[in-house]
Every structure is written in structure tokens, then in C-alpha cells.
Chain A
Amino acid sequence: MSFDLEQATVLLQNEFPQDILDIKEYRNETTLLIKKDQIHRFCKHLKDNLDFTFLADLTAVDYLEVKLPRYEVVYHIHRFGPDCEENIRIRLKAELTDDNPKIDSVASIWSSADWLEREVYDMFGIEFTGHPDLRRILMPEDYGPFPLRKDFDVRNREASKESFEKALEDGRD
């Protein structure tokens, strides 16, 4: 199938008229705001039918005291087309509320999402339902807080010290 970014957006709008909440275009970048419970179905369609084979990045933003809902999960998805015009990248966003920061995992669609979702979980405490192995990836496994949340003091080393001291004790068994 042959299409550029503009045509891809139209194709998606026709396929998901109810689920795309907003479309933003800025400097040839297209950002779609997706209903959070439709993210898995939407991504599956992108990969299976529109050939977006590469999940380039998956991250999140905490908009505490800036806007509601508090969190946004961001997906950068790439399609390797046969020429420059069809070599396109699309950005998806899904909003999550503070009281229920959960979204469906896309690790079954792109396996690169596995560790990316673990990192988002580690830093923001956002849970990905259906993830094969949702553990912390950067911080120690017994670490408590989620460091990239805006209400976490970035200089607070107490939890790190606790994990460190526990690791020392465990190592001396």
C-alpha cells in the first residue's frame, strides 16, 4: 500500500472515527490523541494493516499542576516505506488519570515495548496491563517511589540509601 503521512492520517480517521480525540500537526509532525482503552486495537491496526513495523520510543509525561488528566503516555511509531515520502513517523498520545494510571501494554505488538514500558513503570508508576514481565528496570527492585513524578523531590536519596543498605546485608549472607 502506498501513502504518505497525510494520507495515513485520513486512513486512520476513517477506520477509527470515534477513537481519535484530537489531531495536531506541527512542522510536519502529526500527533494523534487516542482513547486510552482503544490503544491496543489502534496499534494493532497500525502494524498489521498500515505496516508501521517499528516502535521507536515509548515514554510518558507528568503534567502535575499543568493540566488534567495528569499523565500522558507517548508512542513514536515509524513506517519504513519504499521511498522518502512514505518513510513516515506518527506520534500517539493517551491520557491517564492520577487515580487510575493504567493502560494496555503494546508489548505483544512490538517487542521493543517490553523494556520501554518497564522504564515508564519504573519512573512514573504507570501500569501496563498485559505486560509479560512488569518489573523495575533501572532502580533497585525494592525501591519505593517513582522518581520522574513531579511530586517526587529529585534530591531525595532516602529510598536509594535503604535499598543500598539492604543490598549490602543480603550480599553478606
Chain B
Amino acid sequence: MGVNADPLVGGEGFLTTTIEAFANWGRKNSLWPMPFGTACCAIEMMGVFASRYDLSRFGAEVARFSPRQADLMIVSGTITYKMASVCRRIYDQMPEPKWVIAMGSCTCGGGPFDSYAVVQGIDEFLPVDVYVGGCPPRPEALIDAVMKIQKKIEMKGAPVV
């Protein structure tokens, strides 16, 4: 990106960039999360959205309860096999480009629930971008995960459709 403030060239000033870089700049600063909260981690996630930790500082506070309007899925909580098909279907309904955060030990690897009903890590059926360990993770850890997603969008981007 180059910024030019020379009055002979562009008057008030302009910048040169590529469409990809510009689109990714917009994407990374306006992530709209789809909160998929199934257990106690979801309470911590709500804390991240609320005023004390305030995810809106990162442009990601507009939690959309419709997958059609979301591009970041935060899976927070134990996922059972019965819930897994629902989770996958909601992911499939999100428009491209999209990213996934696995929040908490349960979503990362089943947590303490080594049982017949619980998926041992949501990467069995979803492409996870960032894993956040902890039971539950601190709000700072989830914010860090969102920032890692932002960095990923900035560095690797997503194809412009």
C-alpha cells in the first residue's frame, strides 16, 4: 500500500493498493462471529462480547445468530456427536470466506469427556483455524485468537469472489 499526499498528483491525498489487500483489510476489521455456544465456554465468550473485554474494539462484536450473515464461527463448548451434524450444517450455511475458532479444551480435543457421546476435537468434522486451550480460556485468550484470525486474513487473505 502506498499513501500519496502530494497536492500536484491527487489533491487531498489518495492511496494505491490491490483489490485483495483492500478487501482483506475490510474483512479483518469487520469479522462477524456466529457464536456456537454449547456449554460453559459460551459464558466466557459472552464476557468477551460485553463491555469489560469489549470485542467491538476489534470490529468483531456484531454476533450474528444467522450463519448467512457471519464469517467467523466461534465453537465454544462440548460438542456431542448429536450436535456435531448441526454444527457442520451451520458451518456449511455460512458464506465464503469463513473462519473457525475452536474455543476451550472440549472443542479442541474433547476435554475431560472421553465418552461415547462426545467428539474428541471438532477438527474431526470442521476446518479449524485457531485453537484456544483452557477450561474455560480467559477472555484475553479468545481476543488473542480473534487477533490471530485477523493476522491470518491479512497475511494469507481469502480469494476475492
Pairwise interchain contact A160-B85, C-beta atoms closer than 8 A: no
Residues of A within 8 A of B115 (CB): 154-155
A164–B84 CA distance with the chains assembled, in angstroms: 7
B114 within 8 A of A: yes
Pairwise interchain contact A159-B116, C-beta atoms closer than 8 A: yes
Nearest CB in chain A: distance from B7 CB, A: 59
A145–B89 CA distance with the chains assembled, in angstroms: 26
B82 within 8 A of A: yes
Residues of A within 8 A of B14 (CB): none
Residues of B within 8 A of A139 (CB): 82, 117
Pairwise interchain contact B81-A140, C-beta atoms closer than 8 A: yes
Task: Bits for B76-104, please: 1 = Cβ < 8 Å to A, else 0.
Answer: 00001110110011000000000000000
Give the bracket for the number of chain A residues in contact with chain B: 10 to 19
A140–B117 CA distance with the chains assembled, in angstroms: 10
Pairwise interchain contact B114-A155, C-beta atoms closer than 8 A: yes
Closest to B82 in A: A140
Residues of B within 8 A of A152 (CB): 116
A131–B82 CA distance with the chains assembled, in angstroms: 25
A163 within 8 A of B: yes
A152–B121 CA distance with the chains assembled, in angstroms: 23
Task: Bits for A124-159, please: 1 = Cβ < 8 Å to B, else 0.
Answer: 000000000000000110000001000011111101
A139–B115 CA distance with the chains assembled, in angstroms: 13
A154–B114 CA distance with the chains assembled, in angstroms: 8
Nearest CB in chain B: distance from A38 CB, A: 35
Nearest CB in chain B: distance from A154 CB, A: 6
Nearest CB in chain B: distance from A151 CB, A: 13
Within 8 A of A (CB), among B47-105: 80-82, 84-85, 88-89
If A168-B88, A171-B89 touch, does A147 touch B116 (CB 8 Å cutoff)? yes
Q: List 21 A-B contacts (CB under 8 A).
A: A139-B82, A139-B117, A140-B82, A152-B116, A155-B114, A155-B116, A156-B116, A157-B116, A157-B120, A160-B81, A160-B117, A161-B81, A164-B81, A164-B84, A164-B85, A164-B125, A167-B82, A167-B85, A168-B85, A168-B88, A171-B85
